[in-house]
Amino acid sequence: MREVETRESLNLIIVDDYEALSRAGADWLAEGIRAKPDAVIVAATGTTPMGMYIELAQRRLRGLIEPSRLRLFQLDAYLGLASDDRRALFNWTRRSFIEPLGIVEANVVRLAGDAPDPWEACRAYDAAVRRVGGFDISILGLGPNGHLGFNEPPSAPDAPTRVVELTPESIVSNARYWGGQEQVPRQALTCGMDLLLAARRTLLLVSGAHKHEILHRAINGPQTPEVPASYLQLASNVTVLADRAAWQGL
């Protein structure tokens, strides 16, 4: 069962569970690919979108979608990890999105967390996004602290691509991927708020009861740097896709 509602600029889609969320997310992106096969896209890692990416990969194998011409930009990166480190977010994107969807490597732009000058890497990334006219499609998860990518609170809506310090919440939340909090890098590079909020279509995926409170603050609360995702209320064409556990009658 699916409920659809529009609240200010946000389209809300509420589905029963994670499987339904993954299918609905795949439907959403499949439509975007059909409309523009070479769309410029930024796509999150994290646990939430993985089911959607698996569903997309299966549809590709069945010949239902042709995502190989998408032009992909990396959303965020830990600072200082070697490019061949399994834990580098780019390599997670490679395993979960680039390879299963057959995206041509020449059409992928990294956010180079291992660059000798990471600030210069951020500027180069910003320039590359602007050269292609910005993002057509943005697929985001919702951080437990309201972050988008690694735009940690506080993040202003005009914050550019930059090097950031991770907040304690993000370190706790990512400890599961690192075998403990102590191992989690303290700094990261993130695609800027300015670029994300200017995307022509955005999908925010939210699953699980532990996201209920922050989802409430993101869509109903004041727009504030303390909840970077709250600025999505001001962006155009944003779809919030949540399961019932996250929604709980919001």
Instruction: State the nearest-atom distance from the C-beta of 148 to ligand PGA, in Å.
Output: 7
Q: Indicate if 212 belongs to the active site.
A: no
Q: Indicate if 145 belongs to the active site.
A: yes
47 makes contact with ligand PGA (CB under 6 A)? yes
Q: Indicate if 158 belongs to the active site.
A: no
48 makes contact with ligand PGA (CB under 6 A)? yes
Q: Indicate if 151 belongs to the active site.
A: no
138 makes contact with ligand PGA (CB under 6 A)? no
Distance CA 206, CA 183 (A): 26
46 makes contact with ligand PGA (CB under 6 A)? yes
Q: Which residue has the tokens 């589905």?
A: 15
Nearest residue relative to ligand PGA (C-beta): 46
The single-letter code of the amino acid at 236 is S
Instruction: State the nearest-atom distance from the C-beta of 152 to ligand PGA, in Å.
Output: 10
141 makes contact with ligand PGA (CB under 6 A)? yes
Write the DSSP symbol of residue 96.
Answer: I
- CB atoms closer than 10 angstroms to residue 84: 8
Report which of 103, 144, 140 is spatially closest to residue 28, judged by C-alpha positions: 140
Q: Which stretch binds ligand PGA (CB under 6 A): 43-51, 77-85, 124-132, 189-197?
A: 43-51
Strands, E, within 55-142: which ranges? 71-73, 76-78, 108-109, 137-141
Q: Which two tokens stand for residue 210?
A: 């532990």
Catalytic residue (choose from 55, 114, 147, 151): 147
Of residues 166 through 195, those in contact with ligand PGA by CB under 6 A are: 173
Distance CA 206, CA 37 (A): 26
Q: Which two tokens stand for residue 174?
A: 């990512």
Q: Which stretch binds ligand PGA (CB under 6 A): 46-54, 63-71, 77-85, 238-246?
A: 46-54
Give yes or no for a contact between 237 and 201, defined as CB atoms under 8 angstroms apart: yes
Q: Which stretch binds ligand PGA (CB under 6 A): 41-49, 51-59, 122-130, 190-198?
A: 41-49
Element (H, E) at 191: none
Compute how many residues bind ligand PGA; rule: CB under 6 A: 8
Distance CA 126, CA 195 (A): 8
Catalytic residue (choose from 55, 136, 145, 151): 145
Q: What are the catalytic residues?
A: 76, 145, 147, 152
